[in-house]
């Protein structure tokens, strides 16, 4: 007899011989031929179908996250595919493993910052919340999520476009306002260009759509999975992983090397 | 001096301070707010923007692949998230690692079978190609990719819908015809229900869209990444991984167990 | 011309047609037939060969970390193998992805705590350092790494044995002393059994051997990789993943389920 | 009520408050301080403790597999660590994902070839079995697992040493004999240096130790996990991943690039 008897329940999907349900919707009647992939992601993550406005904003977020050129994750994916071409899925998985704090955590951080600020605002307006947030991060010596970019300055071109799309669809509310105010106050406090970057914009739009900050990293994972598959299709036609490997191996193993040189 | 000097080239993406290019398109002007995620995946995988017909067919393929309920991969993703909740991306990666031959290889196999058959057809029509293919697989004792399903019989409801969408968009050509013929001949040869299943339909539609069979598994990976993120969002609100673990651990470690019982 | 020209150097290994060097040692003459796998791990992680004392302590740490029965990671590895039996390596990788903060971060945390305490001790002895550490964690409401266990109480049997082996080999110094003092003070402060657990003992012994706390998680990864391969060998002879999957799927998809029930 | 009621059993490990059993052995009394990591791997994979001879041969196999310098997998592991330094375990997992057919499948293939040959030998001796095997692979145009090396020729220095250790320990039997005969016949048939390489030697020694060819890849995974952790420890002290990334990104995104150039 089992001591453990918490029921195991899920509403993700179930099948009968002639029907398939996903999130309680009929896959054949309501999904295939009707939803695009971004809408399907919205359904999976929220349990609701997006309306046309939510669909455009959510798809805008997702497509922004797909492709960032030859990132460390894209290179890792190509190298792993070189070793295991029979397991394309494992090569994508390897690249996804690199979506940690260095490159991918900031949309999550921005969404959390914005969400918590409005949850505890006590009547404060966006401008004063932003001033407090910037002062707080500054006092702790921590960088503010969602502002600043080493290449895109003085403005990140994606941010203006994402906020424009959100405004067109009626989803540029108080989270967008707060994120923009944080950018202004950060710029003033540090006296250097600290534009709201794409992850700041995406964090704000996730909040506008009611998506939990805990799920924000999942949106980045979905976008990047698409991009890494794209890199593998390019790698199939124009392989570069072998060249990266051979150059690196040759340089790293030059005979003037000793373990001591390697800094340990 | 480097011995290795093959140039490293890629057309996936590049950035300047005020512009970002993806597949040669301007991300801000041409992509954000314009493309849905399925269209973006098509752009990444083919280098081309889909027209409205291709977009509907390709998105239909993708959404079919997202959610299959509580698969081994979904359970594995939830268990890994229990161990490393700070690394949502690694939990998705863990589940993707399971998309191998058992569950996910068949769309690839079907696409390859159809592609190669029409490449080498020598004037044969779909019906005679199908008869030869079925006879060939049968003689070798191998199962035919894309036909048969343990639950969905006598018909897989997704297949009819996918072929209907393709026909509506003008993409139900000779690959669809051949896949259907293979289903008919398989059914006759084995004298049991062997409907074209969803992976057979998807393999055929990939060929219709001109997507290489080598990339077909990538489409499945994209769809499944969306689904696994969905499972983690449900797990955040309604955790079940701990219960699965504790029940399994308890049963597996009952004291009447000895290593010998475990079959080794 | 490259802007990026930091040299790429490594002392891990290199080969000529008739010789292979690992960490500057001749693989054939100095390693194969001479070192055991634990010694090799020590060489890889420190660049030095262990003496007999270090070898016994380091191998004791490693073997303690190999097998913990049917953990979430072991179950995930088996489920992924069910999906991709052709990629045993990806199944092990999937399980390793789950070695995050929930189960595996504490040896790292204990090693760091002990290392930093002695680095900044200012003449304090182990007992007063321990008292301050316990008070500090208590004040912050954070749990102390390396003490307490939900099953093994009042003592974790592994701890006494690990400390005994270390003492026999002359490696039970001030880090062991401090860890033991932390256990005593924790027990007094919280008035409940908080024995030094295996990860606390391992954290202390890593410090005794001069291994950086940043590398401590790597030792756990090595141990667990061995254990997960063991689980797959058992799974090959006595498969259980399919049963875990089918039971979970059946219970999760019962028809009295609706998405609303699933708590979202 | 469950339809699925196959019992879930395992002999890997179980715990009581004061004892821990691994493979039926008492971890504290029989393992910690007694076994080295290679012996523990043997216990996990076979359910038996190795004698001194088996221990030396098995550890020799394992240490040979640890370090191969700057492989694609090692580079991928370093790049993923750059992106997610908080998840060392996921970086190791990413590298392991690359241990597929290109680099790691051959020990498995050699072990299988040798195992099946002696299982079906019908009284033939090693020399005639080897002649038939070489002829068979040649007729099918497939490469013979375990022979040939692009750098180590005319001999792979690891092979002689592994066979020497095996002979010293009384484990150089008919599988070693057959592998050596295959090397001789391959060299004669192709009229070029085709020495038995390290994976051929390892495949033969796995058979000598009674380890299933299905588990041979697991041994490679264990060895490589140790090596990848070593690479991350070096990366912590002497980071090179960022340089590899920046050089690759710069070269790949030069402005004379167009998607067309990228070969698609």
Nearest to B69 among A13, A89, A168 (CB): A13
Output the pLDDT for position D255. Answer: 64
- My answer on whether B38 and B165 are in the same domain is no
- Of C101, C103, C110, the residue nearest C180 (C-alpha): C110
Output the pLDDT for position C220. Answer: 95
| Mean residue pLDDT across chain B | 93
Percent of chain C clearing pLDDT 90 (strictly above): 85
Q: Tens of pLDDT along C178-197?
A: 999 999 999 999 999 999 99
Q: Tell me the DSSP string of chain B.
A: --S--------SEEE-SS-EEETTEEIIIIITTT--HHHHHHHHHHSS---HHHHHHHHHHHHHTT--SS-HHHHHHHHHHHH-TT-HHHHHHHHHTT-STTTTHHHHHHHHHHHHHHHT-TT--HHHHHHHHHHHHHHHTPPPTTB--SSS-S--HHHHHHHHHHHHTT---HHHHHHHHHHHHHHHHHTS---B-HHHHHHHHHHHTT--HHHHHHHHHHHHHHHHHHHHHHHHHS--HHHHHHHHHHHHT-TT--TTTTT-
Q: Cβ contact (<8 Å) for C252 and A84?
A: no
Q: Cβ contact (<8 Å) for A24 and C86?
A: no
- My answer on whether A116 and A210 are in the same domain is yes
Rounded CA separation A67/A228 (Å): 8
Q: What's the mean pLDDT in C248-259?
A: 76
Nearest to A245 among D72, D83, D104 (CB): D72
Reply yes or no on whether the pLDDT at C256 is more than 70: no
Q: Tens of pLDDT along B89-119?
A: 999 999 999 999 887 778 899 999 999 999 9
Give the other-Cβ count within 10 Å of B46's Cβ: 20
- My answer on whether A152 and A107 are in the same domain is yes
Instruction: Identify the helix (H) or strand (E) that includes residue D74.
Output: helix D72-83
- Judged by a CB distance cut-off of 8 A, whether residue A150 touches chain C is no
State which residue of chain B sits closest to D23, comparing Cα positions: B259
Output the pLDDT for position D104. Answer: 73
Output the pLDDT for position D191. Answer: 92
Through-space distance between the first and last CA atoms of chain D, rounded to whole angstroms: 55
Q: Tell me the DSSP string of D90-123.
A: HHHHHHHTT-STTTTHHHHHHHHHHHHHHHT-TT
Reply yes or no on whether the pLDDT at B211 is more than 90: yes
* Least confident segment among B78-82, B105-109, D159-163: B105-109
- My answer on whether B117 and B218 are in the same domain is yes
Through-space distance between the first and last CA atoms of chain A, rounded to whole angstroms: 55
Output the pLDDT for position D256. Answer: 55
Q: A223 to chain D, minimum CA–CA distance in Å?
A: 16
- My answer on whether C197 and C215 are in the same domain is yes
Q: Tens of pLDDT along C5-49?
A: 799 999 999 998 899 999 999 999 999 999 999 999 999 999 999
Provide the token pair at B42.
């098509």
Any domain includes B255: no
Reply yes or no on whether the pLDDT at A258 is more than 70: no
Reply yes or no on whether the pLDDT at B185 is more than 60: yes
Provide the token pair at D217.
């890849």
Which residue has tokens 């998405």? Answer: C259
| Chain A environment of D106 (Cβ under 8 Å) | none
Rounded CA separation B197/B157 (Å): 8
Q: What's the mean pLDDT in C124-128?
A: 96
* Least confident segment among B76-85, D14-23, D81-90: D14-23
| Mean residue pLDDT across chain D | 93
Any domain includes D261: no
Q: Choose, out of A4, A78, A84, the residue to mutate when testing the contact with D (most D CBs < 10 Å).
A: A84
- My answer on whether C114 and C18 are in the same domain is no
Confidence at D153, pLDDT banded by 50, 70, 90: confident
State which residue of chain C sits closest to A251, comparing Cα positions: C8
Q: Choose, out of A5, A69, A88, A248, the residue to mutate when testing the contact with D (most D CBs < 10 Å).
A: A248
Range of the domain at D23: 10-47
Output the pLDDT for position C103. Answer: 79
- My answer on whether A33 and A150 are in the same domain is no
Any domain includes D234: yes
Q: Tens of pLDDT along D219-256?
A: 999 999 999 999 999 999 999 999 999 999 999 988 65
Reply yes or no on whether the pLDDT at A257 is more than 80: no
**Tally of domains within chain D:** 2
Burial class (CB in 10 A: 0-12, 13-18, 19+), B52: exposed
Q: Are A118 and A174 in contact (CB under 8 A)?
A: yes
Output the pLDDT for position C187. Answer: 95
Predicted structure pTM score:
0.95
Confidence at B263, pLDDT banded by 50, 70, 90: very low
- My answer on whether B87 and B198 are in the same domain is yes
Output the pLDDT for position A256. Answer: 55
Any domain includes C132: yes
Going by their DSSP bridges, the two strands B25-26 and A13-16 should be labelled as: unpaired
Q: D170 to chain A, minimum CA–CA distance in Å?
A: 35
Confidence at B164, pLDDT banded by 50, 70, 90: very high
Nearest to A69 among D101, D253, D263 (CB): D253
Q: Cβ contact (<8 Å) for B11 and D97?
A: no
Q: Tens of pLDDT along A130-158?
A: 999 999 999 999 999 999 988 888 889 99
Burial class (CB in 10 A: 0-12, 13-18, 19+), D117: buried
Nearest to C158 among D20, D44, D223 (CB): D20
Nearest to A93 among D81, D83, D97 (CB): D97
| Mean residue pLDDT across chain C | 93
Instruction: Identify the helix (H) or strand (E) that includes residue D223.
Output: helix D213-237
Q: D86 to chain B, minimum CA–CA distance in Å?
A: 9
Confidence at B260, pLDDT banded by 50, 70, 90: very low
Q: Tens of pLDDT along B237-257?
A: 999 999 999 999 999 988 654
Q: B145 to chain C, minimum CA–CA distance in Å?
A: 16
Q: Tens of pLDDT along C72-101?
A: 999 999 999 999 999 999 999 999 999 998
- My answer on whether C34 and C60 are in the same domain is no
Which residue has tokens 């301050």? Answer: C132
Q: Are A12 and A45 in contact (CB under 8 A)?
A: no
- Helices (H) and strands (E) counted in chain C, each on its own, are 11, 3
Any domain includes D84: yes
Rounded CA separation C113/C126 (Å): 13
Q: In degrees to the nearest 10, what's the CA dihedral of A249, A99, B95, B249?
A: 100
Q: What's the mean pLDDT in D3-9?
A: 85
- Judged by a CB distance cut-off of 8 A, whether residue A70 touches chain C is no
Any domain includes A259: no
Q: What's the mean pLDDT in D12-18?
A: 91
Q: Tens of pLDDT along A101-112?
A: 887 778 899 999
- Judged by a CB distance cut-off of 8 A, whether residue C260 touches chain A is yes
Output the pLDDT for position B103. Answer: 79
Output the pLDDT for position B255. Answer: 64
DSSP letter (8 states) at residue C147? B
Q: B101 to chain A, minimum CA–CA distance in Å?
A: 9
Any domain includes D176: yes
Convert chain A into a string of H (helix), E (strand) and C (coil): CCCCCCCCCCCCEEEECCEEEECCEEHHHHHCCCCCHHHHHHHHHHCCCCCHHHHHHHHHHHHHCCCCCCCHHHHHHHHHHHHCCCCHHHHHHHHHCCCCCCCCHHHHHHHHHHHHHHHCCCCCCHHHHHHHHHHHHHHHCCCCCCECCCCCCCCCHHHHHHHHHHHHCCCCCHHHHHHHHHHHHHHHHHCCCCCECHHHHHHHHHHHCCCCHHHHHHHHHHHHHHHHHHHHHHHHHCCCHHHHHHHHHHHHCCCCCCHHHHCC
| Chain D environment of C221 (Cβ under 8 Å) | 88-89, 92, 225, 229
ipTM of the complex: 0.94
* Least confident segment among A62-71, A253-262, D146-155: A253-262
Rounded CA separation A206/A198 (Å): 12
| Chain D environment of C1 (Cβ under 8 Å) | none
Reply yes or no on whether the pLDDT at A264 is more than 80: no
Reply yes or no on whether the pLDDT at A260 is more than 90: no
Residues in chain B: 264
Q: Which chains touch B (3 or more CB pairs under 8 A)?
A: A, C, D
Q: D5 to chain C, minimum CA–CA distance in Å?
A: 8
| Chain D environment of C104 (Cβ under 8 Å) | 89
Output the pLDDT for position A151. Answer: 86
Q: What's the mean pLDDT in C208-233?
A: 96
Q: Cβ contact (<8 Å) for B9 and D89?
A: no
| Chain D environment of A238 (Cβ under 8 Å) | 262-264
DSSP letter (8 states) at residue C261? G
Any domain includes D220: yes
Residue D62 phi/psi, 5-degree rounding, is: -65, -45
Reply yes or no on whether the pLDDT at B262 is more than 70: no
Going by their DSSP bridges, the two strands B13-15 and C20-22 should be labelled as: unpaired
Q: Are D81 and D235 in contact (CB under 8 A)?
A: yes
Reply yes or no on whether the pLDDT at C130 is more than 50: yes
Q: Which CATH number does the domain housing residue A130 bear?
A: 1.10.230.10
Nearest to A259 among C23, C254, C263 (CB): C23
Cis check: omega of the bond before C154, within 30 degrees of 0: yes
* Least confident segment among A26-30, B102-106, D156-160: B102-106
Q: Cβ contact (<8 Å) for C230 and D45?
A: yes
The neighbouring-strand residues paired with D250 are none
Residues in chain A: 264
- My answer on whether A86 and A144 are in the same domain is yes
- My answer on whether D127 and D230 are in the same domain is yes
Reply yes or no on whether the pLDDT at A261 is more than 90: no
Give the other-Cβ count within 10 Å of B260's Cβ: 10
The neighbouring-strand residues paired with A147 are A196
Q: Cβ contact (<8 Å) for B233 and A221?
A: no
- My answer on whether B190 and B117 are in the same domain is yes
Q: Cβ contact (<8 Å) for D101 and A85?
A: yes
**How distant, in Å, are the alpha carbons of A67, A76, B218, B227, D3 from that of A240?**
18, 12, 19, 30, 51
Output the pLDDT for position B4. Answer: 73
Q: Which chains touch C (3 or more CB pairs under 8 A)?
A: A, B, D
């Amino acid at each position: 007899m089992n001591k453990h008897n918490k029921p195991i329940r899920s509403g993700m999907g179930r099948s009968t011989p002639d029907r398939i349900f996903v999130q309680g919707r009929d896959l054949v009647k309501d999904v295939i031929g009707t939803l695009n992939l971004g809408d399907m992601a919205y359904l999976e993550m929220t349990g609701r179908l997006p309306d046309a406005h939510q669909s455009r904003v959510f798809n805008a977020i997702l497509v922004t996250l797909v492709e960032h050129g030859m990132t460390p994750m894209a290179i890792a994916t190509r190298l792993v595919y070189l070793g295991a071409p029979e397991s394309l899925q494992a090569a994508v998985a390897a690249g996804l493993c690199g979506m940690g704090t260095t490159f991918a955590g900031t949309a999550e951080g921005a969404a959390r910052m914005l969400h918590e600020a409005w949850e505890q605002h006590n009547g404060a307006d966006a401008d004063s919340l932003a001033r407090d947030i910037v002062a707080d991060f500054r006092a702790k010596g921590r960088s503010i999520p969602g502002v600043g970019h080493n290449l895109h300055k003085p403005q990140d071109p994606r941010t203006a476009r994402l906020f424009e799309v959100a405004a067109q669809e009626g989803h540029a509310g108080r989270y967008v306002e707060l994120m923009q105010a944080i950018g202004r106050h950060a710029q003033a406090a540090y006296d250097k260009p600290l534009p709201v970057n794409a992850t700041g914009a995406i964090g704000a739009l996730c909040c506008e759509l009611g998506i939990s900050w805990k799920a924000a990293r999942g949106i980045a994972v979905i976008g990047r999975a698409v991009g890494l598959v794209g890199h593998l299709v390019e790698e199939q036609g124009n392989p570069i992983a072998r060249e990266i490997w051979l150059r690196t191996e040759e340089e790293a193993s030059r005979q003037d090397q000793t373990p001591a040189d390697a800094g340990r």
